[in-house]
Structure formats: C-alpha cells, structure tokens
Amino acid sequence: MTRADIGDIPTQNPCAQCGTPIPFPDWIEPGEGRVSYLWKCQACGYRFEAVAIFDQRAIEHPPLAA
C-alpha cells in the first residue's frame, strides 16, 4: 500500500463561495486516474469538491500490490 506524501496534498485552496483560503481538504478520495478532494469553508460553511485528473501516461502502469 502506498502512502500519500503530505507535500502532495493541496493546501490554502480558496473557498468557491467567499474566497477564504481553506488550510486543507476534509476528505481525500483516490480513484483510477483521479483524486477527489472535499473542501469545507470554516468562514461561510460552503462545501465543494475539486477533482484532480491525471495524464493517462501516469496511470498506464499502476503499482502492483505486494
């Protein structure tokens, strides 16, 4: 099992409603060729999802389980 490097997690994402920076996502869900992030703004309570989609070459040879 691989572990996400803390440096790879997005930080200070601006709220989609009020623009206040959000320090880190509430939830991270990896998927095939993508990672979804759930954000919640502490200032206004707005919740939203952001999705990172990876280049096909990056997922061509996924790691094998040991």
Q: Is 17 inside a domain boundary? A: yes
Average pLDDT of every residue of the chain? 81
Q: Is 4 inside a domain boundary? A: no
Number of domain units in the chain: 1
The confidence score (pLDDT) of residue 3 equals: 44
**Distance, CA of 38 to CA of 59 (rounded, Å):** 22
Handedness of CA 17, 20, 22, 26 (dihedral sign): negative
Share of the chain above pLDDT 70, in %: 73
Q: Is 21 inside a domain boundary? A: yes
Q: Is 3 inside a domain boundary? A: no
**Residues in Cβ contact with 6 at an 8 Å cutoff, skipping those fewer than 6 apart:** none
Q: Is 61 inside a domain boundary? A: no
Q: Is 20 inside a domain boundary? A: yes
Show the domain range for 36.
13-53
Q: Is 7 inside a domain boundary? A: no
- Name the pTM for this structure: 0.67
